[in-house]
Amino acid sequence: EVQLVESGGGLVQPGRSLRLSCVASGFTFDDHSMHWVRQAPGKGLEWVSGISWNGNVIAYADSVQGRFIISRDNAKNSLSLQMNSLRAEDMALYYCTRGAGTNLVGEGYHFDNWGQGTLVTVSS
Amino acid sequence: NIMLTQPPSVSESPGKTITISCTLRGGNIAGNFLQWYQQRPGSSPTTVIFEHYHRPSGVPDRFSGSIDRQSNSASLTISGLRTEDEGYYYCQSYGDNIKGVFGGGTKVTVL
């Protein structure tokens, strides 16, 4: 059974940093692209960032470009999101999702499995 | 950057058929794969249609996907509407700049 378990969310002041983690199990981690998707309270889904199976190709939403850094450790089956210079508008439930394919194209952009999410609250 | 536009809400009685549209701006609807996700309250999204037309195992054939090249849009059709179909539905794809994008979501209410 595929499992994606996020952690690292919490309350953080504007301008500070936070690091989210996702541990994957139940599948061959390096056969898949991985992504972060967020959902602000009462709002829709927003794609945040994606990384190819080997970490060589990375993409970010314009809203987080230059502030967030996605990375993966295939030896530890883990995905991370380093979030810097946090803003009130970054407050959301952050989901770790698996791409059905290896790269950031085609089936790699089908989010076929989702975690339960970790909540990030940005407030002073 | 591409943009996907959905109607904010759709309502219909049980047993009826609804269609949710997803209009693409800034790209070619047939160019990159498009998915549809269902999100029930308090739950993570799940796929109902992937790669424009395909249903994951376990999704009933009441759900179908299509595209219209003329209007540059995709559609999700749910037939034989059931109360369990209530929730939000999101279309999703990606641009040639390899950035992902979601539509704004459509709330489905079964009257």
Q: What is the DSSP string of B94-110?
A: E-TTS-EEE---EEEEE
**B-chain residue closest to A64, CA distance:** B99
Distance of alpha carbon B66 from alpha carbon A66, whole angstroms: 37
Compute the average pLDDT of residues A15-36.
Answer: 98
Whole-number pLDDT of residue B109? 98
Give the closest-approach CA distance of A46 to chain B in angstroms. 6
**Which residue out of B89, B94, B96, B106 would a mutagenesis test of the A interface target, given it has the greatest number of A Cβ atoms within 10 Å?**
B94
What tokens were used for B29? Answer: 């609807």
Backbone angles phi, psi at B8, to 5 degrees: -70, -30
Structure tokens at B2: 């591409």
Q: Tens of pLDDT along B51-90? A: 999 999 999 999 999 999 999 999 999 999 999 999 999 9
Nearest to A95 among B44, B88, B93 (CB): B44
Bridge partners (DSSP) of residue A46 are A38
**Predicted confidence (pLDDT) at residue B17 exceeds the cutoff of 90:** yes
Query: Cα–Cα distance between A93 and A77 in angstroms, integer?
Result: 21
> B92 vs A62: CB contact, 8 Å cut-off?
no
Q: Parallel, antiparallel, or unpaired: how do β-strands A118-122 and A92-99 relate?
A: antiparallel
Q: Which long-range contacts (CB under 8 A, 24 or more apart) does B77-81 make?
A: B77/B17, B77/B18, B77/B19, B77/B20, B78/B17, B78/B18, B78/B19, B78/B20, B78/B108, B79/B17, B80/B15, B80/B17, B81/B12, B81/B13, B81/B14, B81/B15, B81/B16, B81/B17, B81/B18, B81/B110
CB contact under 8 A, B98 and A104: yes
Q: Could B35 and A61 be called an inter-chain contact, meaning their C-beta atoms sit closer than 8 Å? A: no
Give the pLDDT score at A63. 97
Q: Is pLDDT of B35 > 90?
A: yes
| Position B1 pLDDT exceeds 90 | no
Spatial separation of the C-alpha atoms in residues B99 and B44, rounded to whole Å: 21
Percent with pLDDT over 90 in chain A: 97
Residues in chain B within 8 Å Cβ distance of A109:
32-33, 35, 92-94, 100
Residue of A109, A113, A116, A118 to mutate, interface with B, max B Cβ within 10 Å: A109
Average pLDDT across chain A, whole number: 97
Q: Do A50 and B35 touch (CB under 8 A)?
A: no
Tell me which chain A residues have a C-beta less than 8 angstroms from the C-beta of B39.
45
Amino acid (one-letter) located at B72:
N
Within 8 A of B94 by CB-CB distance, chain A residues are 104-105, 109
CB contact under 8 A, B102 and A47: yes
